[in-house]
Amino acid sequence: MNVLLFASLREAVGQETLAVDIALPCRVEALKQHIADQHPSIATAQSNQALLVAVNQMIVGNEHQVEEGDEVAFFPPVTGG
Amino acid sequence: MANRLNVAHHWLDVAEQLAWLSEDSAAGAVVNFIGQVRRQNLDDDVAALTLEHYPAMTKHVLNGLIEQAEQRWPLIRIVIHHRVGTLRPGDPIVFVGVSSAHRDAAFDAARFLMDKLKTQAPFWKKETTSDGERWLDARSCDEDAAASWD
């Protein structure tokens, strides 16, 4: 599956999209951990509570199940307006 | 009920938006807010501000906020226009306009839309100062303002 990255996370990882090899369905918490294990900047954002996850354009919690075909995005807290 | 929602690099014709908001004579109140780039932030001079967003989700979230505002107050028209790209100090970033029969609904709905937009819509700001570039952090006072509507 692919995970979209935005803003500081995209810059820190150096990629707009991360290809992730994980069995689906899986919980958001497991997906975060899987990516954090490979990308220290994601681990840092996670430990600073500065990592939000959207599935199909809705922010979701750790318990949410990611299914095949879902659009998943990781990003920091938003700062528009 | 009618509304206009736009996310774009360009700014809009404010007078034209205000005319559209006030066009229906049922509207006794028209309120608008404009957010713009401050020349100083966190004690540093700001040379530029770059806004990025997650296009598919931005529209989704902003449409949801418009629906919530319509359910909560008797509104006549709503305009939300948010810019992306690189802006300079003094440049406008966001326009929120609301019309309703009476002023309380228009003031409250405009504030609600801005408070929720700031904490829910996926926009991110990166500042350029004399010290280089930095992504701005979310502020807890914005979270508190948004939560005050729940």
Give the pTM: 0.95
Which candidate from A6, A11, A81 shows the least CB-CB separation from B54? A6
Mean pLDDT for the stretch of residues A2-18: 96
Structure ipTM: 0.94
> Does A77 contact chain B (CB < 8 Å)?
yes
Contacts of B114 in chain A (CB under 8 A): 81
Express each pLDDT in A25-80 by its tens digit.
Answer: 999 999 999 999 999 999 999 998 889 999 999 999 999 999 999 999 999 999 99
Which candidate from B93, B120, B126 shows the least CB-CB separation from A78? B120
CB pair distance less than 8 Å for B53 and A80: yes
CB half-sphere exposure, B23, CA atoms < 13 A: 12
Closest-CA residue to B144 (of B116, B124, B121, B125): B116
Token pair for B34: 């404009």
Contacts of A78 in chain B (CB under 8 A): 118-124, 138
End-to-end Cα, chain A, rounded Å: 32
Of the pLDDT bands very low, low, confident and very high (cuts 50, 70, 90), residue B1 is: low
> Does A76 contact chain B (CB < 8 Å)?
yes
Interhelix angle A40-47/A28-38, rounded to 10 degrees, is 130
